[in-house]
Amino acid sequence: MIRDETARTWQLVMTGHALDHVTPEAQADMARLLDLDSSISHLTLEIGDNRVHVARDWPSNQYEEADRLIDRIAVSGVSAIVVHNENGKAPRRVTSGK
């Protein structure tokens, strides 16, 4: 099977009240927005007095695969790989000696 590299690896998750007011078209637009701008961590929709929180959600097996890839890169002949995270988290440095 050939994997389509443009396929979305995450799903849109929405929590809060007034979810029934968020149209499928608006959901598709928000997913596309989050595809286009990776600097957006999440959205908050204001619907009257209610709030709907919108974010990306990845299956846990993707995090496990990402960890395996980081380890594989670290032992591929590089001295170390430094993984920089968003939201001000300290970078994680993985060496081939791990």
User: Is the pLDDT higher at 89 or at 75?
Assistant: 75
Q: Which strands sit side by side in the sheet containing 50-57, from one edge to the other? A: 11-16, 50-57, 42-47
Higher pLDDT, 7 or 4: 7
Spatial separation of the C-alpha atoms in residues 59 and 35, rounded to whole Å: 17
Mean pLDDT, rounded, for 49-77: 89
Task: Give the model confidence (pLDDT) of 8-59 as tens digits.
Answer: 889 999 999 999 999 999 999 999 999 999 888 899 999 999 999 999 998 8
Mean per-residue pLDDT, 51-73? 89
CA distance 19 to 30: 14
CB atoms within 10 A of CB 57: 9
Between 89 and 27, whose confidence is greater? 27
